[in-house]
Amino acid sequence: MKHRIFGLSFLFFFFYTSSFAKVENPLLPVYEDSLCHLAHKMFQCKTDAAKFKFNTEFLSLLEKTLKLDEAFDYPFDSLKDVGRLHSPDGSFNIFNWNIPKEDGTQVYFGFIQHHNPKTKVIDLFPLQDKRSEIKNPESQSLDCKKWFGALYYQIIENKSGKNTYYTLLGWDGNNRLSWKKLIDVVYFDRDGVPHFGENIFHMGKTPKKRVIFEFRAEMIMALRYNADKGMIIFDNLVPEAPEGKGIYETYVMDGSYNGLIFKKGMWQLQEDVNALNPKTKNDNFYEDPRSVSDKKASNTFTPAPKKKD
């Protein structure tokens, strides 16, 4: 009789936990652990050959992992060496990292996981860095197979009519002399395929498909979205000397800020803006326009810590 009671109790417990506990694919934490070890080896290597060897293995395993059931909602909290961004509406994720080469240049890699509203499945798109092949990148429409590689650290969602645009803020450690910050945009067509670049950046007579800032390497250029102002705020860049105009490795911040506000389906330039929010009696915190994730040339993006005023 005691055995029968135990058996019934066990069956009830099993039914209860199976019905209410979230089932997790057991392969996900196993693969995540392997990815962490590969990433650590990859970023610790000294030679390009070794870095790219481990990167090839990492790419293959990450692709396999992201195709698993439940991978879309899995947090990957232990994967600290790879940037992971989630769109504000939860429709897609971006996994993103770079390989710094011995000559000071960078190569970027990534995947977009997209919940396709048409097919109701999760599509996976590898990102192929083709920066060296892209002429006049501010006027080019691109896709995942021809991507202007960068490390993304912020996604901003905007709607215009039936269109939804996801504006991306990113960093590119171009070379030893100059770095870049960029504002790009990704949108999805009717089949759920991502495309990069759209004429929604109004900063002059001709709209741009993306905006690229180039400046002296190691400088900390602010480029952040301020939700309270509804504005992308960025440092104004100038050459250190008048004769340096157009020589971007001499460009530095002059202490003033400009901004972009989304109006009538476009990001429109606002010059000489106040980068700080006005202080209120309920506001005891201050956020530096150059937040932690914005400052670092890092694969890991974490929310900027709040500083007490």
Summarize pLDDT for 37-95 with one digit per residue, the tens.
Answer: 999 999 999 999 999 999 999 999 999 999 999 999 999 999 998 999 999 999 999 99
pLDDT in tens, the chain (309 residues): 444 433 433 333 333 333 333 547 999 999 999 999 999 999 999 999 999 999 999 999 999 999 999 999 999 999 998 999 999 999 999 999 999 999 999 999 999 999 999 999 999 999 999 999 999 999 999 999 999 999 999 999 999 999 999 999 999 999 999 999 999 999 999 999 999 999 999 998 899 999 999 999 999 999 999 999 999 999 999 999 999 999 999 999 999 999 999 999 999 999 999 987 655 444 433 334 455 445 444 444 333 333 334
Q: What is the pLDDT of residue 14?
A: 38
Q: What is the largest CA-CA distance in the chain?
A: 95
Task: Record the tokens describing residue 190, joined without a space.
Answer: 């009717």
Between CA 221 and CA 256 the distance in angstroms is: 11
- pTM (two decimals): 0.84
Buried residues in 8-21 as b, exposed as e (16+ CB within 10 A): eeeeeeeeeeeeee
Q: Kindly report the number of other CB atoms within 10 A of residue 297's CB atom.
A: 14
For position 276, what pLDDT does the model report? 72
* Spatial CB neighbours of 306, under 8 Å, sequence gap ≥ 6: 285, 286, 287
Those residues with Cβ within 8 angstroms of residue 26's Cβ, 6 or more apart along the chain or in another chain = none
Identity of the amino acid at 243? E
Q: 283: exposed, middle or buried (C-beta count within 10 Å: 0-12, 13-18, 19+)? A: exposed
What pLDDT is stored for residue 24 in this prediction? 77
pLDDT at 16: 35
Which residue do the tokens 């530095």 mark? 252
Element (H, E) at 67: none
Q: What is the pLDDT of residue 42?
A: 96
Instruction: Give the per-residue pLDDT at 233.
Output: 97
In angstroms, how far is CA 84 from the centroid of its own chain? Answer: 7
Asked if residue 300 lies in contact with residue 80, where contact means CB atoms within 8 angstroms, the answer is yes
Give residue 308's pLDDT.
Answer: 39
| Cα 26 from Cα 28, distance rounded (Å) | 6
Ranges assigned E (strand) in the chain: 83-86, 92-100, 106-115, 122-128, 142-143, 151-160, 163-172, 178-188, 194-196, 201-202, 211-216, 223-226, 231-239, 251-263, 266-270, 285-286, 307-308
CA distance 183 to 175: 19
For residue 98, the one-letter residue type is: N
Helix ranges restricted to H, the chain: 2-20, 27-44, 48-66, 292-295
How far is the C-alpha of 224 from the C-alpha of 249, rounded, in Å? 22
